[in-house]
Amino acid sequence: MSSHFYLIRTSIKNRFKELRRKPGKLILYLLVIVAIVASLIISMIGANHSTGSYPVIYLLPILFGFLLIFYAVSIQKGLASGDSIFEMSDVNLLFVSPVNPRATLLYGLIRLLGTSFWAGFFLLFQSSSLANFGVGFEGVLILFGAFILNMAALTILSLLIYSTTNGRPARKRLLRILAVAVFIPMLSYFAVRFLSYGNALSALNDLMESPVLVTAPIIGWTSAGAISLIEGDLLSGLRWIGLLVLSCLGMLYYIIQSRSDYYEDVLVATETVFEKKRAVAEGNLQAAGATNAKVRVNKTGLSGAGVRVFVYKHLRETFRQNRFGFFSMYMTIIAVCIFFFSFFLRDKVDVVLVLQILMWIQVFMIGTGRGLMETYSHHIYMIPGSPFRKLIWSNMELMLRTAMESVLFLGIPGIIMKSNLVVVLSSMVVYVFFSLMLLSINYLSMRYTEANISQGILLVIYLIAVLLFLAPGLVAALIIGFSAGGLKGTLIGLFILSAWELAVAVSCFALSRNVLHNCDMPTIKR
């Protein structure tokens, strides 16, 4: 039997066997299945009752902007250490074995598709948001499939970039320019059409028809292919997806032909990923999040005394990690997408829609705050001081960041869209209080689970808790807001929602004020 086939078969078999020993994992899988079925029902009901508030073509820039984040990450990875499609065990056991390296590459790609499948899983839960664009369950599945393909293509692209630019600074510089330049024709075309029509809908339709989209590799093709298929334009959809598949095959062919000994190219990435995984397993999340990027140490030193030192330490870390402080790559991409969205679609959308999208993103991004990461290190437990004060001061940096995000993501787009100033300010308050609420729910989940369960189950509990805590305020805001109607209704709705979020946040923080005293220091459990 082929060693590769044996590895895949045995790994899958052992995963199922593991479920018998770990009922928690089984429950997690069952919850995921239930959520998908619920999502299916919601999207079927949604598809029957609504044609969507916005044309499906508006999904194109949203999807493109979303995939742009992954594109930027892939380019960065490719320029640094490449992307990993193998595990360290493959390096130690498979690479040194007398097996065909091409078969090993195929094995790596099959595993990559499996990883991409899980990475795109969250899209299946987007049915209600996608229903706004008239996207039913089939559409969600198309987006899911396109996302998997896109992630696989980006990983291969990353491998190719590493393989062709490693140790060649001139090529790296050229690639950095090229990576941005490829989108210029598409954006210029759209801008010209927009100026000539005066509306984004016609400009987007023209863009979809135009061959200029070919110049936006991978993410442009994925976005255009998925939207065409959702619109029912099979020929155009298959053309874009076909281009994506062909590009993957082409890149692989190039890697194999030009560097038959590609093991060296994937080794650094595999080792980097392995080190990160080991750091996570050891609870050293700080090290796991560190990048290999060169950091220039200019200003040194901290401020504050007692538990207040946490906020100054976090600010120092943030500004050292990124010379623009809070303006990280993630923040810049989101801001550019929102500015684009709010400028070109200013007549069609309002700041409340932007708020909805941001709130959804924030559910997942809140966990990246330095305060929550701090709970995985022993210092926050061992430093003398009140546990509640430690909680507050260790999250102060996150709240500052959130306040800045609210100005950047809602305040400025609000001005671009010429939205009502009070609505913009209220949306900013809703966003900040929502972040506070999410943070408090994280600590509450930690308190009640005593941080002694697997991360997957903890995430599911957290998501369910967010839904349960948000639902009463959201429902009240929608009912009262809609019955009041118009601008007054919007303002009342936003006021109710923000008041509810604040009340939930205060209650959850009060309940989890001693979490640093009463909980085990969490470790990453799989």
Partner 1 sequence: MIQVTNLTKRYGKLIANQDISLTVNPGELTVLLGPNGAGKSTLIKCICGLLRFDGEITIAGYDNRSSEAKRLLGYVPEMPALYPMLTVREHMEFIARAYELAEWEPLADELLQRFELHDKQNKLGKELSKGMQQKVSICCAVLTKPRAVIFDEPLVGLDPHAIRELKSLIAEMKQNGCAMIVSTHMIDSVEENWDTTCIMTAGQIARACRRDELEGGDLEKLYFSITEKGGGGEV
Q: Which residue number, 52 or 385, has a Cβ lying nearer to partner 1? A: 385
Query: What is d(CA 493, CA 487) in angstroms, rounded to the nearest whole number?
Result: 10
Query: What is d(CA 429, CA 494) in angstroms, rounded to the nearest whole number?
Result: 9
Least separation in angstroms between CB 392 and partner 1: 15
Least separation in angstroms between CB 506 and partner 1: 25
In the numeric block, which tokens belong to residue 209? 């028809």
Applying CB under 8 A, the residues found at the interface with partner 1 are 282-284, 286-287, 289-290, 295, 297, 300-307, 309-310, 313, 316-317, 320-321, 377-379, 381-386, 450, 452, 517-521
Q: Which residue number, 96 or 305, has a Cβ lying nearer to partner 1? A: 305
Least separation in angstroms between CB 253 and partner 1: 37
Within the chain, what is the greatest distance between any pair of CA atoms? 73
Query: What is d(CA 505, CA 440) in angstroms, rounded to the nearest whole number?
Result: 5
Q: Which residue number, 3 or 284, has a Cβ lying nearer to partner 1? A: 284
Q: Which residue number, 17 or 278, has a Cβ lying nearer to partner 1? A: 278
Which amino acid appears at position 289 of this protein? G
Query: What is d(CA 257, CA 260) in angstroms, rounded to the nearest whole number?
Result: 6
3-state class of 426 per DSSP? helix
Query: What is d(CA 93, CA 434) in angstroms, rounded to the nearest whole number?
Result: 48
Least separation in angstroms between CB 489 and partner 1: 46
Buried b (16+ CB within 10 A) or exposed e, 472-501: ebbeebeeebeeeeeeebbbbbbbbbbbbb
Least separation in angstroms between CB 520 and partner 1: 5
- Pick from 250, 268, 248: nearest CA to 258: 250
Q: Which residue number, 170 or 305, has a Cβ lying nearer to partner 1? A: 305
Least separation in angstroms between CB 24 and partner 1: 10
Half-sphere exposure of 331 toward its Cβ, with a 13 Å CA cutoff?
A: 17
Q: Which residue number, 111 or 401, has a Cβ lying nearer to partner 1? A: 401
Question: Is residue 191 within 8 Å of 108, Cβ to Cβ?
Answer: no
Q: Which residue number, 164 or 523, has a Cβ lying nearer to partner 1? A: 523
- Pick from 85, 250, 261: nearest CA to 159: 85
Q: Which residue number, 492 or 519, has a Cβ lying nearer to partner 1? A: 519
In the numeric block, which tokens belong to residue 321? 């990690």
Least separation in angstroms between CB 367 and partner 1: 18
Q: Which residue number, 286 or 362, has a Cβ lying nearer to partner 1? A: 286
- Pick from 120, 128, 52, 34: nearest CA to 471: 128
CB count in 10 Å sphere of residue 452:
12
Least separation in angstroms between CB 70 and partner 1: 23
Least separation in angstroms between CB 213 and partner 1: 40
Q: Which residue number, 232 or 304, has a Cβ lying nearer to partner 1? A: 304
Query: What is d(CA 383, CA 468) in angstroms, rounded to the nearest whole number?
Result: 34
Least separation in angstroms between CB 78 and partner 1: 21
CB count in 10 Å sphere of residue 173:
12
Least separation in angstroms between CB 370 and partner 1: 9
Phi, psi angle pair for 217, to nearest 5°: -65, 155
Least separation in angstroms between CB 265 and partner 1: 24
Query: What is d(CA 133, CA 151) in angstroms, rounded to the nearest whole number?
Result: 23
Residues 6+ apart with CB under 8 A from 419: 350, 351
Radius of gyration, CA atoms only, the chain: 24
Query: What is d(CA 70, CA 74) in angstroms, rounded to the nearest whole number?
Result: 6
Burial class from Cβ neighbours inside 10 Å (0-12, 13-18, 19+) for residue 97 reads exposed
Q: Which residue number, 38 or 295, has a Cβ lying nearer to partner 1? A: 295
- Pick from 243, 236, 270: nearest CA to 159: 270
Query: What is d(CA 117, CA 126) in angstroms, rounded to the nearest whole number?
Result: 16
Q: Which residue number, 111 or 447, has a Cβ lying nearer to partner 1? A: 447
Q: Which residue number, 232 or 306, has a Cβ lying nearer to partner 1? A: 306
Least separation in angstroms between CB 302 and partner 1: 5
